[in-house]
Every structure is written in C-alpha cells, then in structure tokens.
Amino acid sequence: MDMTTKSSILLLVLSSFLMHLSSSKAGQIAIYWGQNGNEGTLAQTCATGKYDIVNLAFLATFGDGRQPMVNLAGHCDPYTNDPYSNPCSNLSSNITSCQSKGVKVILSIGGGAGAYSLGSATDAAQVATYLWDNFFGGKSTTRPLGEAILDGIDFDIEQGNGQYWDVLAKTLAGYSRKGKKIYLTAAPQCPFPDAWIGGALKTGLFDYVWVQFYNNPPCQYISGNLTNLQESWKVWTSIVPAKKIFLGLPAASDAAGSGFIPATDLMSKVLPAIKGSNKYGGVMLWSKYYDDQSGYSSSIKSHV
C-alpha cells in the first residue's frame, strides 16, 4: 500500500470519527404546546420540523380524590358535549401525525397554576393507572385526547409537598414494561435539588430532564455572566441519574420573568460551555406561542 492510499484511508477514518463526534453531541429541541390558542394546531407544530419532542400542557388537575382534568386553554375542552366548544376529538389524529414524523408527544402533568397533589402511595398508583388507561395502552371510555397512544409523561410539578412522585414514576415504569415504552421526563427548577421532584429524580427512571434555567436568578444566565448557569449545569449533569439533561429556556424575553438568553449568546457562549457533558440532550423551550413570535428555535437549531 503506497503512502497516498494510506493517507486517503487515514483521512477517511478521521473524517468519519469527527462526524460521529459531532453527531454524538447533536441535541434535540423540546417545546411546550397547549396554553395559547394562537399557537397553531399540534399537527402544524410538528410539521414545522423544528421540534423533536412536544409536551402537551397540561393535565392540571389530579390526585387526592380530584377528577383528573386536561386544560389546553384556547385549543379545546375535552369535557364538553357542546360542539361549539371545540372538543379535542381531532387531537388523536394530530398526535399520530406528529408520531409519524418521528416527533414524540408527551403529556405534561402539573404546571404552575393547577390543582394537583398526591396524598399517598396508593393515590400515586391510582393516578398512574388513570394515565395508563386514558393516554396509553389501557382501556377507558373517557380518553380525553382520543384513541392515540402518547409517548410519555412529563412531570412539571411546581406545588404540593413533594411526596409520592417517585411512586408515580415507578408505577408508570411498570406499565411501560407491558408494551410500548412510556418515556418519563421532568421539568425541575434549576436550584438543586428540586423542592418537589428531587426525590423522584433519584429513581433513575427518567429519560429526559429539562431543567428550568429561568425565573431562578441564582442559577441562570444573567447579562453575559455564565458562571451561575455553568456551575448549576455541572451539578445537574453529574448527580441526577437521567439519560439526558436539557437546558430549559424561555423562547422569548416576555415568555418568563427572567432568564431569557439572546440567541447569539446561547450559540456563542452557553452551548459551547455545556455541550461537553455526555448527559447533554438539547434545549427545551417555553413555549410554542412565544417561539412563533421570536423565531428562537429556528435561530438556534443548527447549533443545538
């Protein structure tokens, strides 16, 4: 073999290695959809090609004897018999449309303004059974979003006593073994450990954890200062036993009280500082409505 051939082979191997290295750090974009009727349909959201995961926000009422209720704001009301109230029957075809494009559709439970809590381990198991029967492979006559089978459950828990979320995660994981995998995701606040689901995250059952690096000044990016965010990121990626950790951000400056990172800063400063972690999964954005206004995901997608 002459030197020219050897050099060509070496360059090919090196090129292949660099492409693998680059793709191994390629992240995904997760978006929250459902809290603004002016953000387009779910099917339209997935058809943009911008997002890999869509969180349906929210199952905002459940637990402690409450009747579970999905709240999709201006989109639809799954509990009305009034055809003029835009019931959510068409969401089932929207969900399968998303899934056919490779987009995971996940139901987010909780949120900042719901009525929810878990009163006991038994209560947590009952909520898990409700979720299985109404959104996954179980059977129910009251499936709020129709017959489509979702891809997972997102724990966006921002109130309550922080108890029994680990039981809910374990029970859902048990159902996952009965058929199609149920992805478990979570949206904790960046102060560590999270006050509500810190215990649940210790189970190691969560696939994706999108940490909210906003509305939390002690651990978010502030005016060019990367230190707080970077130190918090190191804690989350080194301690939490999740498969991937995402950087949770507002998609526009008015999408949160604080923590918005201009796209240029995100691409030139923040992402280079965090992508070295093997736990890096990508970026989560709140929300589709604000992303429509700002074009944020389009600006950052090639760098995520």
- How far apart CA 80 and CA 257 sit, in angstroms, is 34
Q: What is the pLDDT of residues 197-219, one digit of tens each?
A: 999 999 999 999 999 999 999 99
212 Cα distance to chain centroid: 10
Burial 267-297 (b: 16+ CB within 10 A, else e): bebbbeebeebebbbbbbbbbbbbbbebebb
Amino acid identity, residue 38? N
Examine the pLDDT at 24 and tell me if it is beyond 70.
no
What are the phi and psi torsion angles at 241 (to 5°)? -85, 60
244 Cα distance to chain centroid: 11
Look at the block and give the residue holding tokens 């560590």: 192
Distances in Å between the Cα of 192 and the Cα atoms of 225, 252, 265 are 19, 25, 24
Examine the pLDDT at 84 and tell me if it is beyond 80.
no
Q: What is the pLDDT of residues 49-68, one digit of tens each?
A: 999 999 999 999 999 999 99
Nearest residue to 247 (alpha-carbon basis) of 172, 165, 303: 303
- How far apart CA 21 and CA 25 sit, in angstroms, is 7
- Joined tokens for residue 50: 């911008």
39, 147, 158, 231: which one is catalytic? 158
Identify the H or E element spanning 209.
strand 208-212
The whole model's pTM is what? Answer: 0.91
Contact 21, 199 (CB under 8 A): no
Distances in Å between the Cα of 134 and the Cα atoms of 127, 140, 142 are 10, 6, 7
Q: What is the pLDDT of residues 96-144, one digit of tens each?
A: 999 999 999 999 999 999 999 999 999 999 999 999 999 999 999 999 9
What are the phi and psi torsion angles at 111 (to 5°)? 95, 175
Average confidence (pLDDT) over 166-193: 95
Examine the pLDDT at 12 and tell me if it is beyond 70.
no
Task: Compute and round to an integer the Cα radius of gyration of the chain.
Answer: 20
266: which residues sit within 8 A by CB, 6+ positions away? Answer: 249, 283, 300, 303
Percent of the chain at pLDDT > 70 equals 90
What residues does each domain of the chain span?
Answer: 26-300
- How far apart CA 44 and CA 31 sit, in angstroms, is 13
Contact 190, 210 (CB under 8 A): no
Residue 158 is among the residues annotated as catalytic for this protein: yes
- Of residues 4 and 195, more confidently modeled: 195
Specify the pLDDT at position 118: 97
Q: Considering the domain 26-300 in this protein, what is its CATH number?
A: 3.20.20.80
